[in-house]
Amino acid sequence: MKALLEAKYPTLNADTLLEIASMTPNATLAVEKLCGIHEPYTVEQLGEYRESSGGTQYTLFSINEWETSVSYTYEEEDSKGYYVPKDIYDTSILTMDNIDQYKCAHGGNARWVIIKTGEIVTRRSSMSIPMWLELKEYALVP
């Protein structure tokens, strides 16, 4: 990287430029941008749609090259958590319709359970670009 900076900016101190670049989240990207040789990631290159091993479908909505990550959306069934008495062993009986009769205050005789609400929500998350590229790509069928 130093040789690249020296070639591009022969009148400037390459060590100082490297020091400045190292203060960014991605020094290599900073040097590439300074030298005019950076080729940004594109949606076409990364694939707009990916799928997890569990079948969750992700849709890319932004690329953050400084952090080498992508942000994406996905849909899942919403859930809520409640404390219920520890002596309820079969939590499959708990539903959004009957949870009010079972829920209790936090304490030594309570445990936390998660109940699906039946509502589908869109969530946002992010992951590294290398992780994104490991996921299976798919295309939307119109």
Is residue 91 pLDDT above 90, yes or no? no
Is residue 6 pLDDT above 70, yes or no? yes
Task: Supply the pTM of this predicted model.
Answer: 0.77
Structure tokens at 60: 């890319």
pLDDT of residue 141: 67
Terminal CA-CA length for the chain? 46
* CA gap 140, 112 in Å, rounded: 38
Return the HEC string of the chain.
CHHHHHHHCCCCCHHHHHHHHHCCCCHHHHHHHHHCCCCCCCHHHHCCEEECCCCCEEEEEEEECCCCEEEEEEEEEEEEEEEEECCCCCHHHCCCCCHHHHCCCCCCCEEEEEEEEEEEEEEEEEEEHHHHHHCEECCCCC
pLDDT of residue 138: 85
Determine the distance from the C-alpha atom of residue 29 to the mean position of all C-alpha atoms in its chain, rounded to a whole number.
21
Share of the chain above pLDDT 90, in %: 85
pLDDT of residue 1: 86
Evaluate whether 119 touches 80 at the Cβ level (below 8 Å).
no
